[in-house]
Amino acid sequence: MQHRHRERHVTERMGWLRAAVLGANDGIVSTASLVMGVAAAHAAPSSILVAGTAGLVAGAMSMAAGEYVSVHSQADSEQADLAREGKELETDAEGEHKELAAIYVRRGLDPQLAREVAKQLMAHDALDAHMRDELGITETLKARPFQAAAASAVSFAVGAALPLLVVALAPTKGLLASVFVTSLIFLALLGGIAARTGGASMTKGSLRITFWGALAMIITAAVGTLFGAAG
């Protein structure tokens, strides 16, 4: 009975993981900073919720649009490179064979073996061989605009909803401290989960994301306090 070995690598998750982590991080930091800034300016709780909700909707749409445009630009570049490579294969197959063989020689293969490997791979799927080994484009890491946009929008909305929930449930007195502390906890958890999913250090991931989140919230609250005092 033949046993099939299946390995799962963290790079398989990179297409959606980067967009999801970025979206959730931005959702927590930007919304928590926004509501803290508005609260520091002595706004009413209802105004804080309205501002936070507006930030959630605007941020989710902005993240989706920005991620889609960015990743689609990458996808356009990939398609342009593939189209150019396809034309070169049609007009100069021998030159492309030598180019592919040279790549394998640089990776350590004997020249004769490299030529044979290049020949067989091009006979099987020439464009795929050049896409992977010359252009560095793989199916796993291919640009997927819709996937990135959806992951960013949903994760931003989920992240932004967390500090808003605190605003809705926490007493008015001590609201700033409640949002600050809980948001740091949310960020630490997000950093740890993202690091674990990506195969990195959970401690470093948590500390990195928590530090920058805390800095953003402190600065925004300070600006809100200045405007509140000036008003």
- Please determine, for residue 1, whether its predicted confidence score (pLDDT) is greater than 50: no
CB 72 within 8 A of CB 176: no
What is the reported pLDDT for 157?
94
Instruction: Summarize pLDDT for 98-134 with one digit per residue, the tens.
Output: 888 898 888 888 889 989 988 888 888 888 888 887 7
What is the reported pLDDT for 74?
80
Share above pLDDT 90 across residues of the chain, in percent, rounded to a whole number: 21
Tokens of 59: 């941020």
Question: Tokens 């470093």 map to which residue?
Answer: 204
Instruction: Summarize pLDDT for 140-169 with one digit per residue, the tens.
Output: 666 678 888 888 889 999 999 999 999 999
Give dist(CA 218, CA 229) in Å, integer. Answer: 16
Tokens of 120: 């067989």
Query: Which ranges in 41-92 belong to alpha helices (H)?
Result: 45-91
Helix (H) or strand (E) holding 24: helix 14-40
Report which of 130, 119, 136 is spatially closest to residue 89, judged by C-alpha positions. 130
Instruction: Summarize pLDDT for 73-82 with one digit per residue, the tens.
Output: 888 888 888 8
Question: Tokens 């690598």 map to which residue?
Answer: 9
| Confidence band, pLDDT 50/70/90 cuts, at residue 2 | very low
Give dist(CA 225, CA 231) in Å, integer. Answer: 10
The residues spanned by each domain of the chain are: 13-230
24-53 average pLDDT score: 89
